[in-house]
């Protein structure tokens, strides 16, 4: 489960192998493990109000890399 980026106490992570579709990432921080759809940036699970805005801004700017990492870790084709 590589950490793609750190923002103080917050981390953007992608899990694998064997994680479920759709391609998504986790934002992990104090008392929060949020799941976010990598393509749409829709929150699948968790409370986005707790997450600093720069975390989602970084994810928006790097969504292609996040999807590629998810696919590579989980043996999926792009």
pLDDT in tens, 27-57: 999 989 999 999 899 999 998 888 999 999 9
Residue 58 reports pLDDT greater than 90: yes
Residues in the chain: 78
Is residue 9 pLDDT above 70, yes or no?
yes
Instruction: Establish if 68 belongs to a structural domain.
Output: yes
Question: Which residues span the domain enclosing 69?
Answer: 3-73
Two structure tokens written together for 31: 């008392």
Is the residue at 12 inside a domain?
yes
Has residue 78 been placed in a domain? no
Distance CA 49, CA 29 (A): 12
pLDDT of residue 18: 76
What global pTM score does this model have?
Answer: 0.87
In a domain, 30, yes or no: yes
Number of domains in the chain: 1
pLDDT at position 4, please? 92
Helix, strand, or coil here: 44? strand
Pseudo-torsion of CA 78, 45, 13, 41, nearest 10°?
A: 50
């Amino acid at each position: 489960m590589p950490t793609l980026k750190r923002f103080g106490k917050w981390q953007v992570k992608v899990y694998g192998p064997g994680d479920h579709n759709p391609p998504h990432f986790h934002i992990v921080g104090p008392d929060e493990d949020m799941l976010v759809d990598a393509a749409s940036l829709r929150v699948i699970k968790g409370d986005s109000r707790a997450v600093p805005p720069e975390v989602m801004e970084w994810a928006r700017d790097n969504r292609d890399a996040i999807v590629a990492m998810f696919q590579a870790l989980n043996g999926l084709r792009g």
